[in-house]
Amino acid sequence: MGRGTVCLSFDFDAYSIWINRRMVSPGYLSRGEFGATAVPRILRLLGDRGIPSTWFVPGHTVETFGGLCRQILDGGHEVALHGYVHEAVSSLSPEQERDVFQRSHEILTRLAGKPPRGNRTPSWDLTPHTIPILLELGLVYDSSLMSNDYAPFYARQGYEAPADGPFVWGEPTSLVELPVSWSLDDYPHFEYHNTGTSVLPGLRMADHVFTNFFDDVRYMVRDFVDGVCVITFHPQVIGRGHRLLGLERFLDRLGELEIEFERMDQVAEAFRRGRAYGSWAPGSRT
């Protein structure tokens, strides 16, 4: 066992994110198509290092790039839910949200020959109905919430957030939550996006971003016992040459920390079996 676990996750949005934003000019769609161009490069990098990973794939991407999605599975990686066409679930009615999850679940089940185990909502957007729907579908884990960093926890349902009284926590469910963070997501750091009313500048130097990523893992290894750190990438973002070189250097540096790489379904199952990931113990490591 290493001194911590890192889960590399890839959101293979392809065309879906641009279609959902109604940005369907050839220029925008070509940005999504580059994600498909980059997938073999990423799979080669992971395969050369023997690193397992988890890929969150919209149903639209599976239907459009089925051969690439099968390559992901053939490489020993996990494929999990990520909407159908990258829908923000808060924009949907409860019936529409359930339909989207069921449709995507059926598509991924046909792809893999077995039901998916996990989910990541597009843009990490949940509604009060999301967790009950995921439980109805028999999912083991979700990876969309940010209330912890290195410790999985059980997602709650039935919370209340009144403006005139204390927060009501709700009840824990059997759905494991593997927490995420925008600070550990490549998209806001790297991707340039001009909507006409706002600009996401992106385009940062790769090594600057990966230094931040590395320090989050280094802190975990120093101050937590058996922590888990989830890092999020997008093929259309990370697949550019200078960023892939940065990713290679980042993975090499992580090897110095004696961490393990693992698929997220495996982490969720271990947590359900009682593995106590992510206990805060400052000063316990040298």
Res 258: pLDDT: 87
The answer on pLDDT for 2 being more than 90 is: no
Res 249: pLDDT: 98
The answer on pLDDT for 285 being more than 80 is: no
The answer on pLDDT for 256 being more than 80 is: yes
Per domain, the residue ranges of the chain are: 5-279
Section 74-96 average pLDDT: 97
Give residue 1's pLDDT band: very low, low, confident or very high (50, 70, 90).
low
Section 257-286 average pLDDT: 93
Section 68-79 average pLDDT: 98
The answer on pLDDT for 147 being more than 80 is: yes
Q: What is the pLDDT of residues 3-34, one digit of tens each?
A: 899 999 999 999 999 999 999 999 999 999 99
HSE-CB of 129 using CA atoms within 13 angstroms: 13
The answer on pLDDT for 195 being more than 90 is: no
Mean pLDDT of the chain: 96
Res 152: pLDDT: 98
Give residue 286's pLDDT band: very low, low, confident or very high (50, 70, 90).
low
Fold designation for 5-279:
TIM Barrel (3.20.20)
Res 159: pLDDT: 93
Res 199: pLDDT: 86
Give residue 284's pLDDT band: very low, low, confident or very high (50, 70, 90).
confident
- Do the bridges between strand 260-261 and strand 54-57 make them parallel or antiparallel, or are there none, so unpaired? unpaired
Give residue 183's pLDDT band: very low, low, confident or very high (50, 70, 90).
very high
